[in-house]
Amino acid sequence: MDAGQRAEELLVDLEIEGLDASESRLLDELLIQTGLDRNHFARSAAAVTLASRMPLLELPSGLKSRLVEAGQRSVAQVSPMRRRHPWLESAAIGWYAAAAMLLLAVGAWWPGLEGMVGPGTPAALTELVPAALERERLLASGTDLFRWDWAPTDDPAAQGLSGDVVWSAALQAGFMRFRGLQANNPAATRYQLWVFDADRDDRYPVDGGVFDMPAGATEVVIPIRPGLPVGEAVAFAVTVETPAGAVVSSRERIVALAAGQG
* Residue 89's pLDDT band (cuts 50, 70, 90): very low
Q: What is the pLDDT of residue 25?
A: 84
141 within a domain of the structure (yes/no): no
My answer on whether 93 and 164 are in the same domain is no
Q: What is the pLDDT of residue 212?
A: 93
The predicted-structure confidence for 200-217, as pLDDT tens digits, reads as follows 999 999 999 999 998 888
pLDDT at 73 over 70: no
Q: What is the pLDDT of residue 217?
A: 83
* Residue 29's pLDDT band (cuts 50, 70, 90): confident
My answer on whether 91 and 174 are in the same domain is no
My answer on whether 67 and 180 are in the same domain is no
My answer on whether 83 and 49 are in the same domain is yes
Please say which residue of 65, 93, 128 terminates a domain: 128
248 within a domain of the structure (yes/no): yes
pLDDT at 258 over 70: yes
- Which CATH number characterizes residue 205's domain? 2.60.40
The predicted-structure confidence for 40-67, as pLDDT tens digits, reads as follows 555 555 555 544 444 444 555 565 566 5
Q: What is the pLDDT of residue 61?
A: 53
pLDDT at 85 over 70: no
C-beta separation of 166 from 145 below 8 A: yes
Residue that wins the pLDDT comparison between 151 and 28: 151
Q: Per residue, what are the HEC states of the chain? A: CCHHHHHHHHHHHHHHCCCCHHHHHHHHHHHHHHCCCCCCCHHHHHHHHHHHCCCCCCCCCCHHHHHHHHHHHHHHCCHHHCCCCHHHHCHHHHHHHHHHHHHHHHCCCCHHHCCCCCCCCCHHHHCCCCHHHHHHHHHHCCCCCEEEECEECCCHHHCCCEEEEEEECCCCEEEEEEECCCCCCCCCCEEEEEEEECCCCCCCCEEEEEECCCCCCCCEEEEECCCCCCCCEEEEEEEEECCCCCCCCCCCCEEEEEECCC
Q: What percent of the chain has pLDDT over 90?
A: 38
Burial profile 120-157: b = 16 or more Cβ within 10 angstroms, e = fewer: ebeeebbebbeebbbbbbbeeeeeebbbbebebbebeb
Q: Which residues contact 2 (CB under 8 A, 6 or more apart)?
A: none
Q: What is the mean pLDDT of residues 5-25?
A: 77
The predicted-structure confidence for 235-247, as pLDDT tens digits, reads as follows 999 999 999 999 9
Q: What is the pLDDT of residue 225?
A: 87
Range of the domain at 188: 146-259
The predicted-structure confidence for 97-148, as pLDDT tens digits, reads as follows 555 555 544 443 333 333 333 444 444 444 445 788 788 888 887 778 999 9
Q: Which residues contact 123 (CB under 8 A, 6 or more apart)?
A: none
My answer on whether 202 and 99 are in the same domain is no
Give the mean pLDDT of the chain. Answer: 74
My answer on whether 217 and 173 are in the same domain is yes
Question: What is the pTM (predicted TM-score) of this model?
Answer: 0.55
Residue closest to 238 by CA, chosen among 153, 130, 156, 113: 153
Tally of structural domains, the chain: 2
136 within a domain of the structure (yes/no): no
